[in-house]
């Protein structure tokens, strides 16, 4: 079976099962193991001068890439019976949908429940969020993680098989842990952050293209392109701008990190600035549309 066929079946398996609690309550998820390894290396190597931290960060990146690639290659030698579930585990469509939908469900119960649910998927401060801020945070997370958790893994699986997918997930996990511009991580995490930017360069734009194409937004591509380039992230702005137009909602804007408000510019500022749970439902629908396009595309490649 070729890579496209394996991806087709992995996409279906992930959509069907997601992340079953009975399994991951007994075994550590691969992403958790990656995180433990990265944390172990960081605690031992992230010290010294700025140049030493930078060199240690590069060494850490090379180590996790080598280990992830080797494990992916070994599993790949076992054939489809091992490759398909391994790839499904490293895709995140169903779990993303479940986490985003939980925010809408929480908001319908109370603002406190909405804040609690969105706090599980974003790193910003949630204690003082109003309903629209909770909604925007959930939608922004949906857009960014659609690229990081679904399109990018599928893309790198098609390009380089299970080793490519494993390497991508390891780099993405490293970026989420150490790729911050803080005193502790500015130097040590720089290599991981830059590698993650590079690996997401094509997938982020592909995500935006599919979102726009499935929601009649290709006529606004110049606006999506402009906002994607202005975004603080070199990649996250693309799916965010496309998602904003797909569901008619203004995203980004002011938010707080570590107790300090930051005045980020609005994405699609003419969209609805007071969205409610129904907009999260629309974002979930958009997630499934993009997933369906990926499924059909991989199935056609398989048949071809």
Residue 256 has pLDDT above 90, yes or no: no
Residue 24 has pLDDT above 90, yes or no: no
The reported pLDDT for the residue numbered 87 is 98
48-74, pLDDT tens digit by residue? 999 999 999 999 999 999 999 999 999
274-288, pLDDT tens digit by residue? 999 999 999 999 999
Q: Which residue has better confidence, 262 or 130?
A: 130
174-201: average pLDDT = 95
Residue 84 has pLDDT above 80, yes or no: yes
Q: By CB neighbour count within 10 A (0-12 exposed, 13-18 middle, 19+ buried), where does 6 fall?
A: buried
Q: In Å, how far are 181, 232, 267 from 120, measured between CA atoms?
A: 22, 22, 23
The reported pLDDT for the residue numbered 262 is 77
* Residue pair 250/268 in contact by the 8 Å Cβ criterion: yes
26-42: average pLDDT = 94
What pTM did the predictor assign?
0.95
Q: For the chain, give every domain's residue range.
A: 3-303
Q: Which residue has better confidence, 288 or 19?
A: 288
């Amino acid at each position: 079976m070729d890579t496209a066929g394996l991806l087709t079946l992995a996409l279906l398996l992930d959509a069907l099962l997601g992340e079953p609690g009975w399994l991951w309550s007994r075994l550590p998820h691969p992403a958790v193991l990656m995180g433990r390894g990265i944390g172990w290396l960081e605690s031992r190597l992230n010290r010294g001068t700025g140049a030493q931290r930078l060199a240690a960060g590069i060494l850490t990146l090379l180590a996790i890439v080598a280990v992830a690639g080797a494990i992916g290659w070994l599993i790949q030698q076992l054939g489809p019976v091992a490759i398909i579930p391994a790839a499904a585990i490293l895709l995140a469509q169903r779990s993303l949908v479940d986490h985003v939908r939980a925010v809408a469900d929480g908001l319908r119960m109370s603002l406190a429940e909405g804040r609690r649910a969105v706090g599980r998927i974003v790193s910003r401060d949630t204690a003082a969020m109003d309903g629209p801020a909770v909604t925007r945070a959930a939608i922004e997370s949906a857009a960014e993680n659609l690229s990081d958790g679904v399109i990018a893994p599928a893309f790198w699986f098609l390009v380089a098989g299970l080793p490519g997918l494993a390497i991508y997930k390891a780099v993405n996990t490293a970026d989420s842990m150490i790729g911050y511009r803080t005193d502790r991580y500015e130097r040590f995490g720089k290599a991981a952050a830059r590698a993650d930017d590079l690996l997401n360069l094509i997938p982020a734009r592909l995500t935006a293209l599919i979102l726009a194409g499935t929601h009649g937004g290709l006529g606004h591509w110049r606006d999506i392109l402009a906002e994607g380039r202005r975004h603080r992230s070199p990649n996250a702005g693309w799916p965010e701008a496309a998602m904003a137009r797909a569901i008619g909602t203004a995203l980004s804007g002011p938010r707080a990190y570590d107790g300090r408000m930051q005045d980020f510019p609005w994405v699609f500022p003419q969209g609805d600035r007071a969205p409610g749970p129904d907009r999260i439902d629309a974002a979930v629908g958009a997630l499934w549309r993009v997933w369906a396009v990926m499924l059909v595309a991989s199935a056609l490649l398989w048949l071809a």
